[in-house]
Amino acid sequence: MGHAIQSELWRDLYLMLGTSAAALIGLLFIVSSLHLDEIVNNPAFRLRARNNTLHLVVIFIESMLILTPQPMPILGAELAAINLFGLQFPLSFAYRYFYKDRETGQRGGWSKYRSVIYIAGYLLGIAGSAILIGGSNGGLYPVTASCGVLLVLIVSNAWSIMAGVGLTEKTTKTKRGTARQVR
């Protein structure tokens, strides 16, 4: 019935990951609210912003679960459930892109490689969960790698949203300026 966090180093790492995820969720809400029109009017940006938020929530919940004193097998089961929940987002986006609305994905800069990396990240988390269910602290290594992969992809997505919104704003300002000159 050992607790998953037997080292202060793991505790500190997951405290940092959870705090970072919570801070990034807040920043994402602030930035999204400042550019609400551009994000709401672009289905790809809207979907990316929503998914970024949900991926950050997954990392935050994983950190909370890992920091909660509980038996290793229970922690593993909880982490497996949250990683399966997170896995549905890249899978549904890939399905939507290939079978439903490829045009929106292309306009939004969708990348099949990014989707594959998201899927691999969640599968790492599920593999780590299985190891934890078996009672080994070694499962925290793949779970941590999963969180790292997700954070890198979230930052990449946030950057592409910012670049896209900036381009949209620049185009809108240019059109307004041209319309004023024509009058």
The pLDDT tens digits of the residues spanning 96-134 come to 777 776 665 555 556 778 888 999 999 999 999 999 999
Q: How much is the pLDDT for 1?
A: 47
Residue 179 lies inside a defined structural domain of this protein: no
In which domain, by residue range, is 99 found? Answer: 8-172
pLDDT score at 181: 58
- Res. 162: pLDDT tops 80: no
Residue 72 belongs to a domain: yes
Q: Does 178 map to a domain?
A: no
Which residue would you say has higher pLDDT here, 114 or 8?
Answer: 114
Does the residue 43 lie in any domain?
yes
Number of structural domains found in the chain: 1
Q: Residue 177 domain-assigned?
A: no
Q: Is residue 182 assigned to a domain?
A: no
Please report whether residue 3 resides in a domain.
no
Please state, in angstroms and rounded to a whole number, the distance separating the CA atoms of residues 162 and 34: 11
- Do 131 and 9 form a contact (C-beta atoms < 8 A)? no
Domain membership flag for residue 152: yes
